[in-house]
Structure 1
Amino acid sequence: MVPMTMPEDDTNMSRVHQGLEDASSSVRLQAVLAIGTAPDSRFIDKLIERCGVEPDFYVRDMLTWALTRHSSSMTVPKLVGELRSERAQARSQALHTLSKIGDRQAWSAITRALLTDGDDEVARSAWRAAVVLVPEGEESELAGVLTTQLGRGERETQLSLSRALVALGEVIVPTLHAAVTNRDPRVRQHAIATERLLRNPDAGFEFAIEEAKRVSVLGAAGQEG
């Protein structure tokens, strides 16, 4: 016999649902905290739905935390489904959450299309998720795709890519060496800076970029000579 849902239970669920959509970010935060503290699979769909539209960074981060508190067998398939959403934030937050869950069954869903997504936030989330989820032995292939994004975007985007590449380790060296000869100076500089970070993680990205600019200019001058 299927147990009946108690009216009080329905009231509690309704109250939490209303809290998730409240105009106040602090109320929404408390609602998500309540769900994560006492996980209930009936809220998974609503949590994922909110991920795609929630405007507040801290609430989004709490949504991810609440989802990690539920069984990955229930959350991962639904999050993977979000990767096909037309809403960039839904794709980005789903990727971020998958990286936090760390279930490698989601690896096959991290497609080249996501790794090269036109939205910087989606691409950055995909890079981070890919580095966490990549199976052993597939790091070189992933590095090959990631290096096609060298020179992309502004500082934060470039730093995210460099961090993702450095996290893969020595397997990135051959592809970085190839990128150093690229005709685009932004690609060359980003590749050199990433290699500097691999060799000296404490150097800092700004220092690595400035050094890469000098190396790139000197290299170009040498070729002209």
Structure 2
Amino acid sequence: MLIGDVARRSGVSARMLRHYDSLGLVRPTGRTGAGYREYSGDDIQRIFQIESLRSLGLSLRDVRRALDDPGFTPSELVDTLIRQTRERIAAETELLTRLRRIDAVEPAGWEDVLQIVALLQALGSKSAGKRQRAALSSVEEAPMPVEALVEAALSETDANVAGALRWALARSGEDGLALLADGLGSPVAEVRKRAVQSIAEIPDSAATALLRDALTDPDIAVRRYAALALGARGVADTIPALIDIVAEGTNDVDAADALSALASRPALADRIATGLVDRLTHDGAESAARRRLTQALADIPGGTASRALAELSHDEDRAVALTATYILGIRDAR
């Protein structure tokens, strides 16, 4: 079979077949009287074998070894090909993500594209300062793809950078909420906590609904941040959770402030005071926890809180009694 016929039947161009010949991969078995290459059935079978191995990503050098070296084993080479393919897919996926994010911003010209690329690169920098400047610039100078901001916020470990990212997300409107909601579904508690912290910065009813969902999170830190954020928004359902936070001693000042803000509503003041007292008298409550609960009563108006403090001023725990007495003195002076 002449080279033109082989090319048509195999799908391998005549030019490539000549290249295979020059490399010694496939040398036609014979020549015609006019000197044209003439391929046998075995030659054609070898061509198909070469193409099959090339489809796996093998170089022509490795193809030759695979077909001609009896001692050549595929396992190591296949493992290498798997690794290289994974690396290539990761690189292509990263490129696709970058292009999609640039497209989402709808740049007007190449200057905009270059500015967005620079911001994205800075956002991925190892320097916390560069990441923070990129987050701030995304609001003040050039638009940053919301998806990139969310991804950075959910992975950022530096407190200052995280704060800048949350600030930027809060000014991006509702666009980031759906992505942050996905973060609440992460199997990693730290990611869910960062998602809650970011959602808490967005003053929106949809954000409030997401925070309510986070109150049932299996991780206590996630629940704590959700309760604090909801308390600051005036959600009365968080009162028991806020009282728990005061007793636990982590973020207790923030929780007490949230309870104080809620207690400015007359209908809630006695309810909060009763909840604090119930927790104070709970069996097994530690001295430090009881003292924090007593302190939380300081900014709760109404008769229930005042009566509770009067009783606590005679508490068996001297630290609690002194704290209650001091608070009563301040309340009387007002």
What is the TM-score with the length of structure 1 in the denominator?
0.72
In 2, the alpha carbon distance for the partners of 1:95 and 1:214 equals 41
Structure 1 contact 36–69 (Cα < 8 Å) conserved = yes
- 2:241 is aligned to 145
> What is the alpha-carbon distance in structure 2 between the residues aligned to residue 96 and residue 33 of structure 1?
18
* Cα distance in structure 2, aligned partners of 1:144 and 1:119: 14
| Structure 1 CA distance for aligned equivalents of residues 281 and 316 of structure 2 | 9
* Percent of residue pairs identical: 21
Give the conservation status (yes or no) of the 8 Å contact 1:115–1:145: no
Which of 112, 127, 134 is matched with 1:24 structurally?
127
Closer, same or farther: CA 168–98 of 1 in aligned 2, 3 Å: same
Larger-gyration structure (1/2): 2
Q: CA deviation at 1:127?
A: 2.6
2:113 maps to 1:10: yes
Q: Is the 8 A contact 2:234 2:262 kept in 1?
A: no
- Describe the SS at the equivalent of 2:300: helix
Task: Considering Cα pairs closer than 8 Å and 6+ residues apart, tell me whether 1 or 2 has the greater RCO.
Answer: 1
- Distance verdict in 2 for CA 1:64–1:43, change over 3 Å: same
CA 1:175–1:213: 2 relative to 1, 3 Å: same
Structure 2 residue 231 is the aligned partner of structure 1 residue 131:
yes
Instruction: Summarize the Cα distance change of 1:5–1:173 in structure 2 as closer, same or farther, 3 Å threshold.
Output: same
CA distance in 2, matches of 1:216, 1:76: 50
1:198 to 296, 300, 304: 300
Q: Find the aligned partners of 2:170 and 2:150 in 1 and give their Cα distance.
A: 11
Residues 1:98 and 1:216: Cα distance change in structure 2 (over 3 Å): farther
SS of the residue corresponding to residue 297 of structure 2 reads helix
Secondary structure of 2:274's match? helix
Query: Cα RMSD between the aligned structures?
Result: 3.3
Contact 1:99 1:133 in 2 (8 A): no
CA deviation profile, 1:144-173 (whole Å, cap 9, x unmatched)? 333344422x4x432232222222211412
Match of 2:189 among 82, 88, 105: 88
Please, what TM-score do these two structures have when normalized by structure 2?
Answer: 0.51
Amino acid at match of 2:131: R
Change (3 A) 1:33 1:148: closer
* AA of the residue aligned to 2:196: L
State the AA in 1 paired with 2:122.
Answer: G
Task: Give the Cα separation in 2 of the matches to 1:50 and 1:64.
Answer: 10
Q: 1:185–1:216: 8 Å Cα contact kept in structure 2?
A: no
Q: Distance in 1 between matches of 2:206 and 2:187?
A: 23
Over 3 Å counting, the alpha-carbon distance change for 1:27 and 1:145 in structure 2 is: closer
The total of aligned residue pairs comes to 198
Corresponding residue to 2:166 among 64, 85, 90: 64
